[in-house]
Chain A
Amino acid sequence: MKRIFLISLTLLCTQAFATTDLVVVVNPGSGVEKMNRDDVTSIFMGRTKKLPSGVNALPIDQAAATGDKAKFYREIINKELAEVNSYWARLIFSGQGSPPRQADNSAEVMEIVSNNKGAIGYVPRSAADKRVRIILDLSAQ
């Protein structure tokens, strides 16, 4: 019953947001069970340096080529990649901060997250496996 509900919800979402099936994942040992969009935004945009559990956060971005990066930022802060780049450029210019570390693809994200306790990244749902813990489903509203 629950499954049917989820499927229908997914279908609805698919229709509404094209193909957003990204999930935010962390190392299962990070001590974090759930995070909301604001928390994720804070970590990825450099505002927060630690995970809610107190572990130093290591946000992992994806290369722009994957297309997942653009989807991710549109989803969490509703901004284009150019804007995000401009944001970081400003901070880099003033020497105040730096953008997250960048992985080449989802597999590399999975690799880094599974190996680092404070790592946090985003991958398509299909790419997420037992090595990581999904703390936020971006396809869900």
Chain B
Amino acid sequence: MKSAGVLRSFHTSIVLRSAVIVMFVSGIIGYGLLGVITKFVEERVQETFTSRLGALVKTVENTAQIACYLSDMGLANEVSKGLLMSRDVERVIIRSEQGVLADNNRTSVLRESTSTKETGQEAATTGGASNATPATPSTGEIPPNAIVRSLTSPFKADTNVGEIIVVRNEAEIDAQVKTATNFIRLMITLQTGAIILVVTLIAVGYIAHPIHQISRRLNELSAVDGEKIDIPRGHSKNEIGQLVDDVNFLIDNLVSGINTERNLRMQREIEEKRFRAIFENAETGIFVIDHDGLLKSFNPSFRRILNIDAIDADKRDSISLLEISGDQAALIQEMIDDSLKEKRTISGEIKLINSDGNPRWLTMILNSVGEDQLQGVTNDITDSKLREAHAHKLALTDALTGLGNRLGFEKQIEAMIEEREADPEQNFTMMMIDLDRFKQVNDTYGHDVGDIVLIQVARRIEQSVRKADFAARLGGDEFAVLLPYLADEEIVTRLAQTLVKNISLPIYTKTDIETGVGASIGISLVTGTLKNKGEIVKQADLALYAVKHGGRNGFRIYREDPAPVTNTHDTT
């Protein structure tokens, strides 16, 4: 548990981590350094040792020479013991040609010095014997790093008289090396400790503490309100300060970004509401369809115009514009295809039949807004259409009789001539009717009665011809009838007889006045070569003129050849 906590702290605490890393690294470096330094120190100590021993041996060399020259064991012992006074020396052997003069080591000398003075005295006397005793084999091998100096005669430099062997005190060397090493180790440890302390303090003071401060401030921060982080004291110019500046800059950007976005969103909501209001409240029907005319969405006006509510509720999920437009489906499909293909706005007028049988006109504009999507608007133009038709009708209608007026007649005949020009088979017939004795009626009973007579005549003409035939009052007591698709002389003759007969029937007014008029009819059969309006009217006029002159109350069909002009008078 605890180690896990430490491990987590190691991962979460910069201070702990840097302290551990510094400890680890300086430990390794210190250890390596210690090894190198120890080796170096050891070498130095060895060198110092050797040179010191050399110097030491040098000081006793003369005496040792004399001792060897004289094979004087006493003197040799003196020399060796003197040398052993130095702690650097472990053992001293002085040899002459006669044998070993002295062989003392540290422990024996120590023992000697701790034993009684008497023994020392005795040893001295024994050593005083000038004759060298036979060489006793020295105990212990002479180590290879011992100092061996050959000794020459004090009086003759080229004559060897013996040698002095000084064995170093390795324990002392080790002790000196150890002392030096310990000192260095202590130094390195102290330095490492100091470094760890400094690094930790720096990590805490300059990094962890400011970061912690910033972190706490960040947590408390309400960035949306544009709050900023304070730079920790004393860090305004370093990386921490830079970091805080950057964070503040980021906050600024964020806040302004948020504000901008918020404003944009509000603006968009307003726009959307506005458009939604337009969409919802527009009198125009607005809708979106795909290439099959399937409705994707539409506004209330569209619902009203196309009477969507009349459709079964369960079918309202997929309504096709084509299905609800009856016989106009082909037209709409064509508009859809054109708009999608040409990527442009197509407008058209469609005519629907209401459930009550009345026609309704709609304008429809389709606009391709995607691969498979069209946006459309539609308006109900039935009222204006009706108004227009009414105005049109008024313009072409004789106000008194309800028949067409002269303008209406001219438009009609022009249309028929045009039709015939397109298809010469489309023959027709024109009748010019002039009332007989109308002037007398007018003069006798007044205009009111005259008007009644004209109305009566108009009704009788209407009743005598087919529904598709066009009757007009050209002015005064002059009427005209256009019979489309009819130029058969026999039928026309029969029709003309009927007309003359019907018009000539007595007319009763409300005031019980019995009166009556006659009718003279000039007929032009429009067949064969193409004729213009003037020619046709002239032919009918000529035929009428002939009837008038021939005794009235009858009809005549105009003939190309002038001689045989059929003059058929109604004899009744």
Contact B155 A79 (CB under 8 A): yes
Per DSSP, chain B at the interface is helix
Contact B72 A96 (CB under 8 A): yes
Given the interface pairs A77-B155, A94-B78, the reply to whether A46 lies near B128 with Cβ below 8 Å is no
In the complex, identify which listed stretch (B62-70, B224-232, B277-285, B339-347) lies at the interface while the others stay far away: B62-70
Is the CB of B130 closer than 8 A to any CB of chain A? yes
Contact B63 A97 (CB under 8 A): no
- Option from B130, B154, B156 in Cβ contact (under 8 Å) with A97: B130
Is the CB of B74 closer than 8 A to any CB of chain A? yes
Is the CB of B461 closer than 8 A to any CB of chain A? no
Is the CB of B75 closer than 8 A to any CB of chain A? yes
| B interface residues (Cβ-Cβ under 8 A, vs A) | 63, 66, 69-72, 74-75, 78, 124, 128, 130, 154-156
Contact A94 B74 (CB under 8 A): yes
Contact B154 A95 (CB under 8 A): no
Per DSSP, chain A at the interface is loop
Minimum Cβ distance to chain A for residue B498 (Å): 192
Cβ of B66: which chain A residues have Cβ within 8 Å of it? Answer: 87, 90-91
Contact A87 B154 (CB under 8 A): yes
Cβ of A47: which chain B residues have Cβ within 8 Å of it? Answer: 69-71
Between A and B, 30 residue pairs with Cβ closer than 8 Å are A38-B156, A41-B155, A45-B69, A45-B70, A46-B70, A47-B69, A47-B70, A47-B71, A76-B155, A77-B155, A77-B156, A78-B155, A79-B155, A87-B66, A87-B154, A90-B66, A91-B66, A91-B70, A94-B72, A94-B74, A94-B75, A94-B78, A95-B74, A95-B124, A96-B70, A96-B74, A96-B75, A96-B128, A97-B72, A97-B130
Bitwise interface map of A from 71 to 91 toward B, beta carbon under 8 Å scored 1, else 0: 000001111000000010011
- Interface residue tally on A, bucketed by range: 10 to 19
Minimum Cβ distance to chain B for residue A70 (Å): 15
Bitwise interface map of A from 102 to 133 toward B, beta carbon under 8 Å scored 1, else 0: 00000000000000000000000000000000
Minimum Cβ distance to chain A for residue B352 (Å): 154
Minimum Cβ distance to chain B for residue A17 (Å): 18
In the complex, the chain A residue whose C-beta lies closest to that of B125 is A95
Cβ of A94: which chain B residues have Cβ within 8 Å of it? Answer: 72, 74-75, 78, 128
In the complex, the chain A residue whose C-beta lies closest to that of B157 is A78
Cβ of B128: which chain A residues have Cβ within 8 Å of it? Answer: 94-96
Contact B155 A45 (CB under 8 A): yes
